[in-house]
Amino acid sequence: MNPLSDYLLLSAFLFSIGLAGALTRRNAILVLIGIELMLNAANLNFIAFWRYGPHPEALTGVMFAIFSISVAAAEAAVGLSIILAVYRHSRTTDLDKLNSMKG
Amino acid sequence: MTISFLLLAAITIIGTAAAMTLKNLVHCVLALSLGLVGLAALYLQLGAQFVGFTQILVYVGAVAILAAFAIMMTRSADPTASNAAASFRASGALIAVLVFAVLAWATISGTSAQPIFTAAPEGSVGQVGAALMHRFVLPLEVIGLLLTAALIGAGILAMDEHRGTR
Amino acid sequence: MFETIDQIFVLIKHWLLGYVPGMAQPLISAILSVVPVVIAFPLLFAITTVLERKGLGRMQNRYGPNRTGWFGILQPMADGIKSLTKEDIVPRTADQLVHFLAPVVMVIASFLVYAVVPLGRNMVIADLNAGVLFFFAIGSMVELSVFMAGWSSHSKYSLLGAMRAIAQMISYEMPLVLASVVVIMAAGSLSTVTIVNMQAGYTGIWPHWYVFTPWGITGFIIFMIAATAESNRCPFDMPEGESEIIAGYFIEYSGFKFALFFLAEYLGMFATSAMAITFFLGGWAAPFSFLTWIPSYVWFFGKLLTIICAFIWVRGTLPRLRMDQLMNFAWKFMLPLSLINIVGAGIWHFMPAGFTRWGVVSLLILLSCVLLSRGLRRNKWFHVRTYRFAS
């Protein structure tokens, strides 16, 4: 086992936790948090590959992680405001109850 | 595998797992921020100082607070009785376990043969800044545009149209 | 001789480290750096409480504390003993664990930010590459602990106070960060030590502090206003408006935990003031070249006490703002002005040195300041309110 695979295993585990949360939880906010966790797992992969990769001086992994964090922040802001708008409309954030397309 | 890695990995896993399993949503958000701080510490351990501090600033300072605000405003802090059917939960968990198994198999079988470059890279903040301003300047501008669009879009979406625009 | 006095704490630390075996040296070195800071700033907190109560008392035509000790100088001791011996009450419906963790997280975060503050020449706990980013990142953890405190008490007042505090802190964090961006641009570094070193030179007897440039003074004023709001002090003390929501997010805390919140609040104020000194007022550098024989840490703490006195003065003078005024001010005045300030700093950087760039940059900032404040005044929320009873 080398140090890279430790980080990759941890990242895979984080990804599965996020996936399990996004699939099993019924609250829209928690589903969003699960998706954020999956994004974070990918970020950990980028940083680990940057650290143990052949060309760390190119900083590609770090750059990708920085851009991914900013995209995740934008996604969280828009996602949560959509949840707020939906809640205002239908008075619930439970995804099972949000089953009608009509207003 | 060092002790610091094990400790930080344990913090991260406990935090994120608690965030996905706890009943009370506010507890979930607090556990999530613990897990994300652990992840930021892992970035620091890997030598990516800028990404680590940005992670704390963005996730703990902004995303967790935003999620907490959303929970407060949608009144979903109280644990709701409505949960998914048991079969649904089981299948979701099964899918997650399968995904982990595939990823772990790929990791273990794929990386052990590769050579490992253990020389610590120079990832100083100055280099990150220079790269952002030279090689990655176009993505940087696109991200700026995206964040502005997200700011305006989130503001408009969250605005209460029935009470006028104040 | 001056060198020795200036570096006395550093020399003492190295002398003590000489007695430690090589294995334990990194650990002992860290402890020797951290412990003085952890002792010095709570002491400063004790001095500040007396100073604040005496100063406010004078401004309000009363004496302030004058019973304990000589001129009330032992008042913080009495306060400390009182809060230590008080009963620690936790509401029955409170979320026990989160309720306990909130003050702990807050105090830890407040102490952590001092790691990157340069207290004197060669006197910084950790000269991080990304020191400024570290400061803002750890500072944002305070918001989370405010939320924990407000939510876990399960009280309407504390929740309202926490929501107000967080909304205010997030709104004013942006001008705070953007105001320091000009300094980072000028110094070309995120390391606090480098930023201070860039300001340590002199032209004649005058120092190279960033506050003596048009963008520097604008940035300093924006930074100080935002710092007042960040530390929830008057005139931005809406989160604990006593007349409306009693005490804000920490109403349900008593005894020692309450004292911890109080301590953390003041530590946060000292930290942002120390950052303002580092960014704009030359850190530990002396204000005139002929005063450099006074040790650097004396200058640092002197500047810090001056800023604290300014905070107390503002608290004694200005009335509290309303929530909408607060938000309008942050988003419609401070944020655009700090963005224009960054443009001004850029113009300053690329123009040849001389009076022209002074004129151009000052004109740009003054003009935008006037225009923005006119825009604020046109907003009806800033008019004198006319009350129409029984209409």
HEC states along B90-154?
Answer: HHHHHHHHHHHHHHHHHHHHHHCCCCCCCCCCCCCHHHHHHHHHCCCHHHHHHHHHHHHHHHHHH
Q: Give the residue-averaged pLDDT of C142-165.
A: 85
Q: Tell me, what's the pLDDT at C270?
A: 92
Does residue B141 register a pLDDT over 80? Answer: yes
Other beta carbons within 10 angstroms of residue C236's beta carbon come to 25
The residue ranges of every structural domain in chain A are: 3-90
Q: Look-up: residue for tokens 């990832």?
A: B123
- Rounded distance between C-alpha atoms, residue B92 and residue B100, angstroms: 13
CA count, 13 A, side-chain hemisphere, C390: 0
Does residue C381 register a pLDDT over 70? Answer: no
Q: Is residue B117 assigned to a domain? A: no
Does residue C1 register a pLDDT over 80? Answer: no
Choose from A1, A50, A52 for mutation: most chain B CBs within 10 A.
A52
**What's the domain range around B153?**
123-166
Q: Is B84 helix (H, G, I), strand (E, B) or coil?
A: coil
Q: Does residue A89 belong to the interface with chain B, where contact is any CB pair within 8 Å? A: no
Kindly determine whether residue C140 and residue B60, on different chains, have CB atoms separated by under 8 Å. yes
Kindly determine whether residue B154 and residue A80, on different chains, have CB atoms separated by under 8 Å. yes
Q: Which of A19, A67, A84 sits opposite B74 (nearest CB)?
A: A84
Contact B103, A12 (CB under 8 A): yes
User: B 49-68 residues with CB below 8 A of C?
Assistant: 49-50, 53-54, 56-57, 60-62, 64-65, 68
Which residues from C are below 8 Å from B124, CB to CB?
Answer: 129
Q: Residue A1 burial by CB count (10 A; 0-12/13-18/19+): exposed, middle or buried?
A: exposed
Q: Give the residue-averaged pLDDT of C365-389.
A: 70
Q: Tell me, what's the pLDDT at A67?
A: 92
| Subunits close to A (at least 3 CB pairs below 8 A) | B
Which residues from A are below 8 Å from B12, CB to CB?
Answer: 10, 14
- Rounded distance between C-alpha atoms, residue B147 and residue B155, angstroms: 12
What percentage of chain C reaches a pLDDT higher than 90? 6
| pLDDT tens, position by position, C52-81 | 888 888 888 888 787 777 777 788 888 888
Q: Is residue B162 assigned to a domain? A: yes
Q: Is residue B10 assigned to a domain? A: yes
Q: Tell me, what's the pLDDT at C24?
A: 78
User: How is residue C41 written in tokens?
Assistant: 């700033």
User: How is residue B43 written in tokens?
Assistant: 């970035």
- Rounded distance between C-alpha atoms, residue A37 and residue A39, angstroms: 5
CATH number at residue B60: 1.20.120.1200
Q: Tell me, what's the pLDDT at C391?
A: 45
Contact C32, C123 (CB under 8 A): no
Predicted complex ipTM: 0.85
Q: Is residue B92 assigned to a domain? A: no
> How far is the alpha carbon of B166 from chain A, nearest alpha carbon, in Å?
16
Q: Is residue B112 assigned to a domain? A: no
Kindly determine whether residue B131 and residue A63, on different chains, have CB atoms separated by under 8 Å. yes
Shared domain for B71 and B135, answered yes or no, is: no
Angle between helices C131-152 and C255-280 (to 10 degrees): 150
| pLDDT tens, position by position, C278-288 | 988 888 888 88
Q: Tell me, what's the pLDDT at C259?
A: 86
> How many structural domains are present in chain B?
2
- Rounded distance between C-alpha atoms, residue A45 and residue A43, angstroms: 5
More confident residue, B22 or C177: C177
Instruction: Find the range with the poorest average confidence among C189-198, C216-225, C239-248, C315-324.
Output: C239-248
Q: Does residue C249 belong to the interface with chain B, where contact is any CB pair within 8 Å? A: no
Contact C367, C343 (CB under 8 A): no
Which of B70, A93, B79, B37 shows the shortest CA–CA distance to C166?
Answer: B70
Q: For the domain made up of A3-90, give the CATH fold.
A: Helix Hairpins (1.10.287)
Report the predicted TM-score, pTM, of the whole model to 2 decimal places.
Answer: 0.86
Contact B143, A65 (CB under 8 A): no
